[in-house]
Amino acid sequence: MARALAPEAARGLLGMILLDGVFHADPHPGNVLVTPDGRLALLDFGSVGRLSVKRREQVLVVLGSLVDADVAAVSDVLMEWAGRSGPPPTGLEQGVERFFLRYAADSGRPIRLAEAIGEFVSIARDNALTLPPDLLLLLRALGIAEGLARTLDPELDVVDAIAPVVVKAFASRFAPKALATRAFRAFKEFDQILATGPEAIRRGIGRLSRDGLVIRLSSSDLADLPRAVKRAGESLSVAVVVAALVVAAAIVTVANDGQVAAPGRIAILVASGVGLAAFVARLLRRD
C-alpha cells in the first residue's frame, strides 16, 4: 500500500500549491496519517503557506520551463521575485542555463527535487537575489514532501508523479472563469492608465516647463572630446573647400574654350585634384 500512496502524497501537496494556493508547509511523515480506507490525512496545520494567483502563475512558469529550458523566462521570474529591475546580474542566465542542463526534462538523469531546489536557491543567492519568504516556505515544503514520498517508495520518480498536476494547473489557466478574470484584470489596469495618464502627462509637461530638461552624460575619456570636436570642425572646413573646388572643376570642364582661359582652367583642375587628394588622405590618416 505504501508504494501506491507515494505518488498520491506528491500530487496531493502540489495540487494544494498550484490549484488551491494554500498548502501544508511541514508535511513530514509525523504529520501524515493513513486512514482505514487507504487515504492520506494531513495533521498539525500549525505551519501553512499561501500563494497568490500571480505567485502560482510564476511557479508554473518555472515548472513549465523544465520542459523547454526557457532561460530568459526563469531569469525574469527570479528578478521579479527579488524585486529587482533593469538588466539581470551577469551570471544569472548562465546559472539558469547550467541548472537546465542538469535538471531539464531532456537531461536524461533522474531528478531529485530537493537537490534541484537547493541549486535553484543557490543561483539566486550567488547573484545577490533575495527570494521572498512565501517562496522559501514553498520550496522547503516541496523538499519535505519529496522526502515523505520517497519514504513510502524509495524508487519513486517524483517529477513523473507530479506531472498530471502540473498539466491540470496549466489547463486551469485557460478555463472560462480564469480567462474572464485575467481579461477583467487587464481591463481594470487599462482603465487606470486612461484615468491617470492625462494628469501624469500634464504634471510632466509642467515640470519640464518649470525646471527644464537636464541631460547627464558620462564618459570614461572626456579628455579626448575637445580634440575630437576640433578635428571634426577642421574636416568639415576642408570638405567645404574641396566641394567648392570640385564644383569649379565641373564648371570649367563643361565651359567653352572662350569662356575660361586655358591657364585658369588648368589651375582650377589642378587645385581641385590636389584638394580632393588631401581630403581623402586626411580621412584615411589615423592619429
Q: Calculate the average pLDDT of the chain.
A: 77
- Region 156-180 average pLDDT: 82
What is the SS3 assignment for 32? strand
221 or 208, greater pLDDT: 208
Whole-number pLDDT of residue 154: 82
* CA pair distance 36, 42, nearest whole angstrom: 14
- Does the structure show a pLDDT above 80 at 210? no
pTM: 0.57
Torsion from C-alpha of 251, 254, 260, 261, nearest 10 degrees: 120
Instruction: Tell me the pLDDT band of 217, cut-offs 50, 70 and 90.
Output: low
- Residue 127's contacts (CB-CB under 8 Å, 6 or more residues apart) are 78, 88, 89, 91, 92, 95
- Region 68-77 average pLDDT: 86
Neighbours of 244 (CB within 10 A): 12
| Cell numbers describing residue 142 | 516541496
